[in-house]
Amino acid sequence: MNKTEADPVNHPGHYTFGKYEVIDVLEDWFPADPLLWQVGKYIARAGRKGNLVEDLKKAAWYLRRRIEKEESDETSGNRIIK
């Protein structure tokens, strides 16, 4: 598919800007971490779909949740580095 063609379902414009499509980066960087996947998604699209501050707050929400999970795993001795 030509990158300039509009496809709001398979290749939405707020994820297909720049050199790499966001889905490809997320799959490469966070293959097994859904919380960091969401952080990356909201940062990548920040301001491109709707409200910039709202996207940044969503990214922060997922990041706080990921930090809390990591701290909980460290406390319980269940820390796993992937």
Q: What's the CA gap between 74 and 52, in Å, rounded?
A: 33
Range of the domain at 35: 13-76
What is the arithmetic mean of pLDDT over 5-17?
A: 64
62 within domain boundaries:
yes
7 within domain boundaries:
no
pTM for this structure? 0.70
Residues in Cβ contact with 80 at an 8 Å cutoff, skipping those fewer than 6 apart: 73
29 within domain boundaries:
yes
Q: What's the CA gap between 68 and 30, in Å, rounded?
A: 18
For residue range 38-52, list pLDDT tens digits in order: 999 999 989 888 899
- Number of domains the chain contains: 1
